[in-house]
Structure 1
Amino acid sequence: MSQSELPAAAVEPSVERAAHAAVRNAPGSLWRDGNFLTLWSGQALAQVGSQVTELAIPVLAVLLLHASEFEVGLLNAAGVAAFLVVGLPAGAWIDRMRKRRVMIWADAVRAVALLALPLLWWADVLAMWHLYAVALVVGVATVFFDVSYQSIIPSLVRREQIAEANGKLEATRELANIGGPALGGWLIGLISAPFAIFATVGTYVASFVALLLTRDHEQPRADDDRAPVLHEIGEGLRWVFGNPLLRRIVGTTGISNFFSTMSFTLLPIFLLRELGLSPEAFGIIFSLGSIGGLAGAAATPHIVRWLGEARAIPVSAIAFGAIACLLPLAATFPAVAFPLLVAQLFVGSFTVLLYNITQVTFRQRITPPRLLGRMNASVRFCVWGVMPIAALLAGGLGTWLGVVPTMWIGATGQLLSALCVVIGPFWTMRQLPDAEH
């Protein structure tokens, strides 16, 4: 769940001891860092916009273009296929570039691609293949943006502020998750799904401008510190899988993302078509559930102090795996589907944020700056690259077995995903190791 590696709504995919409100008045707090706040404000708007589109495009496909289960699966697969296809070389390329510039170009591409959808609808020629094409283009741009986004923090803030920065960015993501779906549902009801996408285009333009105004202290790699792309890709993979703790985290995240994608791919069809909910109700469910993510971002430093940083990882993995079972349970008992879905999303978002903030800060802390892009790309390749496969499988199983049985398969797999970090050294540790570079 997204971003961070587990999409928070599920689960979206990004992010320890992140001080949220507690650091607001501390000396050197990022609330007083105008440069960081410029980046933060642009990303806050972009996160809200992306939530609007994540609601508008499924509504457009299911209600206006009458997409089948398989077509919805194909659409979801198109949106994340880039992590599987270009995720690894993107990391090697990004480590050779200024990451802020990569993010600027990615925002521009996403804005232009999304702008095509309302224009095609207005011309009365919009078809499902247009959605697939736009999803693919936006997905490629998002690969480059997200890998750069998770790699740029160490060049914006001091080392001791990395956890604080991740906490603020994750808390903002959750605020967007709360307000974005409700705003999206309202806009869809007011002006229709295609034209609600204009809101996202505007927020990507705002992020573009904010990035232009942001300054970083990243030093480009020297020409003599470069090797062939395949060698650099291998170096990133060896770094990730050579660390036994990181290897287990990738295992849990990847398995959970695979099975949660199976469940959430079919959720728009279940809610909008089978239950007959309105787009506004669809958005409200996700908004209420996402409050749990904001609470999780705020509670993470306190939970980490209580449990220990290392133990917070298996505890959160058990929790978000177990609570996933409420999703198919809501499908089985439609009379109480609304509160069950809200509860599942609330607790799931809370525990995913605890997990993501802890593990992403750990990754950023132990990785040498020259490897940050490749490390994040390698992780994203493994944990998001499985999602297009899962989305296609969900479409096929949904057609063959039905929506509810496919959701039960997804919930069971999410529960089993916790085994990678539960059976491991995390319980015997309190703090995750650090590394000085």
Structure 2
Amino acid sequence: MTRPAGVGDYRRFWAASTTSIFGTYVTTLALQVLAALTLHATATELGLLNAARWVPYLVLGLFVGVLVDRYRSKPMLVGADFARAVVLCAIPLLHLAGLLSLPVLIAFAALLGLLSLFFDAADQAFLPKLVPVSMLTSANARLEQSHAVAQTTGPLLAAALVKAVGAPLAILVDAISYLISGVLLAGIGTREQSAPRPQRRSVLTELREGASWVYRHRMLGPQSLAGHLWFLAHSMLTTVYVLYVLRAPDNGLGLGEVQLGISYACAGVGAVAGGALANRSGRRFGAGRTVVVTRALMPLPWLLVPLLGPNPAVIVLLGLSQLLFWVLMGLEGPNEMAYRQAVTPDRLQGRVNTTIRSLNRGAIVIGAPLGGLIADATSLRTALWAGIAGLIASAVVLAASPFRHATLPEPATPQTTS
């Protein structure tokens, strides 16, 4: 078993994560602009591009979890970062050579998704090796806050770069961010051990062991199922939300891209605020109670959205809705992740995390188009109500489960002899 290292290694880990996530927001916008304006993609083609990054999670996520549990996490993290940098550098080069087409771009997006799958699986398995159990909530909260700041300012940086140098060259910024992240991770001194070969079994056997451990666990089983339902509902809401804000008042709010961006910025501010309170809430009320209560409150801010109509205060209310929702998200996420990492044995960290993450991403693949189908068949407001109903159902499932009693394990106290 790998012993947690000092905070110095965690700081490198956090700095690497912060650097790469800012670059990721640049690429997310730049790829869509490149597809829409340079390659003249249709709406369906743009949807395929956005979905391509999640397909590896759905198809290969469980197998990658087995590999993460068999081998050391750090080389996977460093290798995935450097490989993503190379892939991103290839996109502007192909564009300059006149060889970039939409199918090629979609293939690159899928390849980036595959490398990100390896990175994410190893990333979640590596963190518990860097900090003790007592610091997991704080460590996850700090990572969530970095993501929230990137969520707030990343799109603005991306828009400025795309306007200044064009989408293909803006993608190089993300390539540089992955190179910096890889160098930082390579400097981490925590020692890991691969699983002993005699303990390794067939991939399918180990895959089943990881999935069985998740869904038979008294706490993680219902928490995971409720989480899959939450991702299904939330992906419906976020898909419809963009159209609802931008569409004409007869089927939406009739606002512009600037107002949409302001609401997203409010979401980032809320996530930072919630993350700052996550550790204190987990210690005072317990991880399980914090997650259950925040999950129960999450539908409330969304209720504002379909009830709104065109009025002078609409952007204020939209911003308030996103701010409050993401405060709750910032409170919930670190406590949920810390509990999962704390109760999962080292030998199962990769499989447990990728099992849950892969099925969550699968729920997004289903929920996003489902929200669109409901909106097309009825109205945008009806689709929003359907997503809110899904959030309520997720909260009910979780509240009725034993997870409300979940607490982080107490750190072991050293024994003294007299």
Matched, 1:377 2:351: no
In our comparison, the structure showing a higher alpha carbon Rg is 2
CA distance in 2, matches of 1:381, 1:317: 21
Cα gap change, 1:335/1:179 in structure 2, threshold over 3 Å: closer, same or farther?
same
CA distance in 2, matches of 1:392, 1:126: 27
Structure 2 matches for 1:243-254, cutoff 5 A?
243-254=217-228
Deviation at 1:410, TM superposition (A): 2.6
CA distance in 2, matches of 1:194, 1:346: 32
Cα gap change, 1:34/1:430 in structure 2, threshold over 3 Å: closer, same or farther?
closer
Cα gap change, 1:262/1:122 in structure 2, threshold over 3 Å: closer, same or farther?
farther
Indicate conservation of the 8 Å contact 1:76/1:265, yes or no.
Answer: no
Counterpart position of 2:56:
82
Q: 2:268 aligns with which of 274, 290, 315?
A: 290
Matched, 1:214 2:191: no
Indicate conservation of the 8 Å contact 2:229/2:394, yes or no.
Answer: yes
Indicate conservation of the 8 Å contact 2:228/2:359, yes or no.
Answer: yes
Deviation at 1:403, TM superposition (A): 5.0
Residues 286-323 of structure 1, C-alpha deviations (whole Å, 9 max, x = no match): 23320111111111123234433321111111122332
Matched, 1:169 2:143: yes
Matched, 1:431 2:407: yes
User: 104-113 or 63-72: which moved more?
Assistant: 63-72
Q: 2:296 aligns with which of 318, 338, 348?
A: 318
Matched, 1:144 2:114: no
Q: Tell me which amino acid in the other structure corresponds to 2:407.
A: Q
Counterpart position of 1:227:
201
Counterpart position of 2:328:
351
Deviation at 1:395, TM superposition (A): 5.0
Counterpart position of 2:85:
111
Matched, 1:361 2:352: no
CA distance in 2, matches of 1:282, 1:250: 31
Cα gap change, 1:144/1:190 in structure 2, threshold over 3 Å: closer, same or farther?
same
Cα gap change, 1:323/1:120 in structure 2, threshold over 3 Å: closer, same or farther?
farther
Structure 2 matches for 1:5-84, cutoff 5 A?
33-62=7-36, 67-84=41-58
Instruction: Give unpaired runs (5+ residues) of structure 1.
Output: 1-28
Cα gap change, 1:167/1:374 in structure 2, threshold over 3 Å: closer, same or farther?
same
Residues 237-288 of structure 1, C-alpha deviations (whole Å, 9 max, x = no match): 111111122112112211111122223235555667765734x665443233
Q: 1:300 aligns with which of 246, 267, 278?
A: 278
Residues 203-249 of structure 1, C-alpha deviations (whole Å, 9 max, x = no match): 11111111111122221110011010001011101111111221121
Q: Tell me which amino acid in the other structure corresponds to 2:270.
A: G
Deviation at 1:411, TM superposition (A): 3.1
Indicate conservation of the 8 Å contact 1:174/1:294, yes or no.
Answer: yes
Q: Tell me which amino acid in the other structure corresponds to 1:314.
A: V
Deviation at 1:371, TM superposition (A): 0.8
CA distance in 2, matches of 1:329, 1:293: 23
Counterpart position of 1:3:
none
Indicate conservation of the 8 Å contact 1:261/1:391, yes or no.
Answer: yes
Indicate conservation of the 8 Å contact 2:54/2:361, yes or no.
Answer: yes
Structure 2 matches for 1:91-102, cutoff 5 A?
91-102=65-76
Q: Tell me which amino acid in the other structure corresponds to 1:295.
A: A
Q: Tell me which amino acid in the other structure corresponds to 2:203.
A: V
Q: Tell me which amino acid in the other structure corresponds to 2:360.
A: V
Indicate conservation of the 8 Å contact 2:274/2:331, yes or no.
Answer: yes
* Percentage of matched positions with identical amino acids: 31
Cα gap change, 1:92/1:434 in structure 2, threshold over 3 Å: closer, same or farther?
farther
Instruction: Give unpaired runs (5+ residues) of structure 2.
Output: 249-253, 413-418
Q: Tell me which amino acid in the other structure corresponds to 1:380.
A: R
User: 292-301 or 280-289: which moved more?
Assistant: 280-289
SS across alignment from 1:414? helix
Matched, 1:415 2:400: no
SS across alignment from 2:194? coil
Deviation at 1:150, TM superposition (A): 0.6
Cα gap change, 1:125/1:47 in structure 2, threshold over 3 Å: closer, same or farther?
same
Matched, 1:277 2:256: yes
SS across alignment from 2:219? helix
Counterpart position of 2:213:
239
CA distance in 1, matches of 2:371, 2:34: 19
Indicate conservation of the 8 Å contact 1:365/1:434, yes or no.
Answer: no
Q: Tell me which amino acid in the other structure corresponds to 1:355.
A: E
SS across alignment from 1:216? coil
Cα gap change, 1:434/1:34 in structure 2, threshold over 3 Å: closer, same or farther?
closer
Cα gap change, 1:148/1:162 in structure 2, threshold over 3 Å: closer, same or farther?
same
Give the superposed CA RMSD: 2.9
